[in-house]
Chain A
Amino acid sequence: MPSLKTLAHNAETDVRFTGGHSLCRGCGAPTVVRTVLNSIPTPVVVVNATGCLEVATTRYPTTAWGVPWLHLAFENAAAAASGLETAYRALRKRGAIPDEPLTFVVFGGDGGTYDIGLQALSGALERGHRFLYVCYDNEGYMNTGIQRSGATPFAAATTTSPSGRRDYGKHQTRKDITAIAIAHHIPYVAQAAISHWQDLSDKAVRASQQQGPAFLNVLSGCALGWGHPPADTIEVVRLAVETRYWPLYEVVQGHYWLNHRPERPLPLEEWLSRQDRFKHLFASENREHLTELQALVDAEWTQVEARAVVDAPWFEARPEMRGGRV
């Protein structure tokens, strides 16, 4: 596992992402970007889907990116990466570029990944391009003003799934994009969170070493969209992990490995109560929805945990294949 000293060393010698962008105070996305990029030992080329990260880091003629960076549109980041990766193979084959390793990294928000970009993502995963897709998941269309997305959790209030006198927020459950990525039978899929930088860094390294596509779904924060002080971003995300809302796990060649098992899992309220988007769930008339949400979280955790138990012997036989526990 890389240490923070290694990451800092990498950042000192090769500045891949700088300040001077206009992302919000306390934004979680830069932690995803910096941790992933500073962990990858090879040169990188980045593709960015339309979203907060893209608009706030490349206001013409400025840029926060010290690496080659491409943005085409919202729904096609994975397709753009397909083109770049294929160009790289084609030109290397012809000797037109140096025969050196290069890692292609896509950053897309949950809107650009779960929803509008799902088709391009699925196509690129199926075709087996060697690239790393990183979803910085803040559970809503934050760039356009906090609208609901396929990643928004059940009962969360957004501007298009508001809570009100007669409503309790989003009626539907969150889409399990990690499971969708797994269903493509790609070499490596993982869930991570910005609160656990070492786990994220380790996953970025191992994802980038795969011979095919890799997918990372990283719970990022959004102080504005979730409704908490900017200073609390990391802590709130950590609570998502410690309440088992957001399991940290990885799926290596189809085999599940849990990277974090909270010793004493916290009740979901510990996480919910820190965010304005769930404030309404604490009103007496909405308690049932809170219970429902807890049940959904328990079910997902149980499912992942059960898979990890089944796959434990596979990893025992191949200790080099599994990530660490944090």
Chain B
Amino acid sequence: MREIRWHGRGGQGAKSMSQVLAEAWLRQGRWVQAFPEYGPERSGAPVTAYTRADARPIRIHHAVRNPDAVVVLDPSLLGEVPVTAGLRPGGFVLVNSPESASSLAERLPGVRVLRVDGSALARTAGGNYANVVLLGAVAGVLGEPALEALQQAFAATFAKLSPEAVAVNFKALEAGYRAALEEAERPGPGAVQAAPTPREDLPGAVVLAQDAPHPRTGGWRTGLKPAVRLEACVNCLLCWVYCPDAAILTENQAFVGFDYQHCKGCELCVKACPTAAIEMVPEGLELVGQGQLTPRTQGGRHA
């Protein structure tokens, strides 16, 4: 049996791609399953989906525990979600990232890491969706299902798309498929297992607010973060009142910066700012002077 785990963020198509992959395998005579994990998450939150394929009918109904392949649609998940958990020996993690494979491998020690710059390849193909590239790529590395089956499955799943859009996505699938074949040449080490964290439950599921963990939601941002030109800030605090994530930091009732651990990058602060002091900038950069950007020099809370 082949078992694939997909990691993405709500809205990035992890669930859809898990289904297209299953559909493609189905078209090649395999028995398949595709299913997501459901939780209280909203668009932007980490989501997980699974695909299974086998020569025989699949009867098990539980999450994939030891995947052959893990597809990470969003590189920001690497620090947030244990993507390598349970990876089967000989398995691989395929990451959508512009970052070099060696640098990614440092962040995911002990496993075989493959990378595809899905976003760039999608753009080259004329589209916007990295997920399709990654779908092609995972099939490329696995050697199945065939590219044609993937394309047919894609067209069947997204039957409402225009012929032009379908053509673009076919290109993206193919680009991913070919990129992966090259990428897969590189060997890697074996699998590691993430240990679950033990926890003491108080009777009645009581959570003591003082001790409760606050999940980091900064990873929900999609490459852009708010930055401020302090000299333009009039300290009206409109950004503060409208921030859904309480990510505008104040001291003595004055704006002092952003809590990048929790800022989801919704841009409501940018819209609320009456003096245009806040702009969205690429992660890792800071805003200086009249809107010039500079690499971040001092340690922030979240890069």
Interface SS of chain B: helix, strand, loop or mixed?
Answer: loop
Contact present for A22 and B45 (CB under 8 Å) = yes
Q: Compute how far the CA of A18 lies from the CA of B270 in the bound complex, rounded to whole angstroms.
A: 20
Q: Which of B89-97, B145-153, B243-251 contacts A (4 or more CB under 8 A)?
A: B243-251
Number of interface residues of B (CB under 8 A): 46
| Chain B 196-227 interface 0/1 with A at a Cβ cutoff of 8 Å (1 = within) | 00010100010101001111110010000000
Q: When A20-B216, A61-B199, A232-B271 are in contact, do A4 and B236 touch as well, CB less than 8 Å?
A: yes
Please tell me if the beta carbons of A66 and B209 are within 8 angstroms of each other in the complex: yes
Does B264 make an interface contact (CB < 8 A)? Answer: yes
A31-B241 contact, Cβ under 8 Å, with A12-B253, A56-B42, A230-B266: yes
Q: B212: which of A23, A25, A63 is its contact (CB, 8 Å)? A: A63
Q: Which of B33-72 contact A (CB under 8 A)?
A: 39-45
Confirm or deny: A233 has a beta carbon within 8 angstroms of a beta carbon on chain B.
yes
Interface contact A34-B207, CB-CB below 8 Å: no
A63-B212, A197-B242 as given contacts; A26 in contact with B268, CB under 8 Å: yes
The answer to whether the Cβ of A165 comes within 8 Å of any Cβ in the partner chain is no
* In contact, A231 and B240 (Cβ under 8 angstroms): no
A21 to B266, CA, bound (A): 14
Q: CA–CA, A234 to B239, complex, Å?
A: 11
Task: Report B-chain residues with C-beta under 8 Å of the C-beta of A189.
Answer: none
Within 8 Å CB of A233, what residues of B? 266, 268
Given known A-B contacts A5-B253, A23-B244, A26-B267, A63 and B42 have beta carbons under 8 A apart = no
The reply to whether A29 and B253 contact each other, CB–CB distance below 8 Å, is: no
Residues on B with C-beta less than 8 A from A28 are 244
Given contacts A21-B217, A52-B42, A55-B40, contact A61 B250 (CB under 8 A): no
Instruction: Say yes or no for B5: interface residue by CB 8 A criterion.
Output: no
| B171 located at the interface, meaning its Cβ lies under 8 Å from any Cβ of chain A in the complex | no
Residue of B with least CB distance to A194: B242
CB-CB contacts below 8 Å: A56-87 with B: 56, 58-67, 69
Closest to B236 in A: A4
Interface pair B264/A31, CB less than 8 Å apart: no
Knowing A63-B212, A231-B271, say if A22 contacts B244 (CB, 8 Å). no
Contact B244 A29 (CB under 8 A): yes
| Cross-interface CB contact of B207 among A20, A55, A61, A231, cutoff 8 Å | A61
Interchain CA distance A24-B220 in the complex, whole Å: 10
Question: Are A62 and B213 in contact, CB atoms less than 8 angstroms apart?
Answer: yes
The reply to whether the CB of B272 lies closer than 8 angstroms to some CB of chain A is: yes
Chain A positions 10-52 with a Cβ under 8 Å from a chain B Cβ: 11-12, 17-31, 34-35, 52
Q: Does B259 reach chain A (CB closer than 8 Å)? A: yes
Q: Whole-angstrom distance between the alpha carbons of A229 and B222 in the complex? A: 14
**With A19-B214, A19-B217, A64-B214: A234-B268 Cβ-Cβ less than 8 Å:** yes
Q: Which of A11, A35, A231 contacts B270 (CB 8 A)?
A: A231
A91 within 8 A of B: no
Interface residues of A (CB under 8 A from B): 4-5, 7-9, 11-12, 17-31, 34-35, 52, 55-56, 58-67, 69, 194, 197, 224, 229-235
